């Protein structure tokens, strides 16, 4: 296997991760953090880049990807949780959201953003997504060698222009970044949702290496980390640069979200051509993300449901995504956020346990204890995000460490793991998780 193959796979992983949210959230962070930008972006990169890359590396330990990883809790949990992951980051949320963001950024500024326009745009968009997704063996070539360089060039044009055409000054941070900006940036990195997406993308990367003759867990993990390093350099560079643009826009006007900040920056620098450039950036980012998620869903569900072929699954995924995309961006976000708030802590705990599992001999009891308590806290957070008021429960939850940082699940996860160890100790017969690829 040639080194250039690893680089191209790294480019592909970058393109799959890099959706519209990865453009919007860093620039918002820069806009709001101001003079506290450096510690804030460091925290953001840790969760927005580091955790997703580690998650992809964790997938390389398992022959059957995320299902086997989550299956250490219980085989049924592995199947159900992973299915939920694919549905949420696929047709029920991430794909329709990406299509909508591309539409609002790249089409609405130039034409009437009516429901009919969205409908016509969605037809064209998802026909292209379906066509590219039909042959997943071509994914590395089509995405890694063509679309990713184009995406880099578009971003580069916007960033270079900012050095010469943006004269705004860095201002003091808003209130939420005045205290502990590193922690706030760390939490903002969750919004990319790339750690959850990595559970799906990981199998694409691992399969790409296996198709090129890479075998053995150690070699596979090493190659995955090398490709991940390429991805990490790309993502970090883009996040830092786009975030810096946000810091320069604080004195240019008042903006409600990252999309508006970027549109404002493009307009200040280049006028209408700048708006078109922004549309190209977001359009490429959203398209590559939709292709990656469609392929991942097709591979996952066609293997789990023999009656469904890969082509049938991506057809269903494309049709559902098309239908949901036409209900509008705000509605999509509103019904999906509670689910994501519930799932993210579980994902993080699973990944941490995967890398520490040798220390407790892959005991299912440790996994079950940690995941059970994490899920309880996540369920509460999800219900709160849904808008449910629970003053009595909130009063109890507020006593947990890190509650004010939205990390109240951390200590319960640790307690659950310790309970699992105690169960193993008392029983005197700790069981081992099946399916782990020993090196």
Residues of the chain with pLDDT under 70: 1, 20, 136-148, 151, 429-439
**Whole-number pLDDT of residue 357:** 87
**Cβ distance 378 to 341 under 8 Å?**
yes
**Whole-number pLDDT of residue 161:** 82
**Whole-number pLDDT of residue 148:** 62
3-326 is a CATH 3.40.640.10 domain: no
**Cβ distance 96 to 21 under 8 Å?**
no
Cα angle: 168, vertex 176, 187; to 5 degrees: 105
**Cβ distance 286 to 20 under 8 Å?**
yes
Contacts of 95 (CB under 8 A, 6+ apart): 129, 289, 290, 293, 294, 317, 321, 325
**Whole-number pLDDT of residue 376:** 95
Return the DSSP state at 50: I
The 10s digit of each residue's pLDDT in 297-336 is: 888 899 888 899 999 999 999 999 999 999 887 788 778 7
Q: How many Cα neighbours within 13 Å face the side chain of 212?
A: 20
Q: Dump strand ranges (E) for 264-315.
A: none
Domain ranges of the chain: 3-326, 336-439
**Whole-number pLDDT of residue 324:** 94
**Whole-number pLDDT of residue 158:** 78
| Residue 254 to residue 242: CA distance in whole angstroms | 17
What sign does the CA torsion over 153, 201, 99, 384 have?
negative
The 10s digit of each residue's pLDDT in 144-162 is: 556 667 767 777 877 888 8
């Amino acid at each position: 296997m040639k080194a250039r193959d690893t680089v191209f796979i790294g480019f592909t992983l970058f393109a799959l991760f890099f959706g519209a949210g990865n453009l919007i959230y860093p620039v918002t962070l820069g806009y709001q953090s101001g003079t506290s930008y450096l510690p804030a972006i460091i925290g953001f990169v840790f969760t927005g880049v580091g955790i997703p890359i580690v998650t992809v590396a964790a997938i390389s330990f398992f022959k059957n990807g995320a299902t086997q990883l989550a299956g250490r809790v219980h085989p049924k949990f592995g199947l159900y949780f992973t299915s939920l992951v694919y549905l949420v980051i696929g047709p029920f949320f991430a794909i329709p959201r990406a299509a909508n963001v591309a539409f609002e950024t790249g089409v609405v500024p130039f034409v009437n953003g009516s429901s009919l326009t969205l409908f016509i745009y969605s037809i064209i968009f998802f026909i292209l997504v379906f066509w590219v997704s039909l042959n997943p063996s071509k994914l590395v070539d089509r995405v890694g060698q063509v679309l990713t360089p184009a995406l880099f060039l578009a971003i580069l044009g916007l960033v270079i222009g900012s050095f010469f055409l943006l004269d705004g000054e860095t201002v003091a941070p808003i209130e939420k970044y005045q205290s502990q900006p590193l922690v706030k940036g760390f939490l903002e990195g969750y919004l990319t949702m790339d750690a959850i997406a990595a559970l799906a993308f990981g199998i694409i990367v691992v399969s790409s290496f296996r198709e090129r003759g890479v075998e053995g867990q150690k070699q596979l993990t090493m190659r995955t980390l090398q490709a991940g390093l390429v991805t990490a350099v790309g993502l970090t560079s883009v996040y830092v640069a786009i975030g810096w643009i946000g810091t320069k826009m604080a004195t240019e006007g008042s903006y409600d979200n990252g999309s508006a900040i970027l549109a404002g920056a493009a307009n200040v620098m280049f006028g209408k051509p700048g708006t078109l450039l922004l549309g190209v950036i977001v359009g490429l980012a959203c398209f590559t993300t939709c292709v990656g998620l469609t392929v991942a869903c097709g591979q996952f569900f066609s293997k789990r449901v023999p009656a469904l072929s890969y082509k049938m699954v991506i057809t269903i995924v494309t049709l559902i995504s098309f239908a949901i995309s036409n209900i509008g961006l705000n509605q999509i976000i509103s019904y999906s956020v509670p689910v994501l708030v519930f799932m993210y802590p579980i994902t993080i705990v699973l990944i941490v346990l995967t890398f520490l599992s040798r220390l407790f001999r892959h005991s299912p009891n440790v996994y079950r204890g940690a995941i059970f308590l994490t899920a309880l806290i996540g369920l509460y957070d999800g219900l709160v995000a849904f808008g449910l008021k629970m003053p009595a429960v909130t009063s109890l939850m507020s006593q947990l460490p890190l509650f004010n940082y939205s990390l109240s699940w951390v200590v319960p996860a640790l307690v659950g793991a310790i309970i699992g160890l105690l169960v193993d100790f008392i029983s005197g017969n700790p069981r081992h998780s099946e399916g782990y690829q020993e090196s």
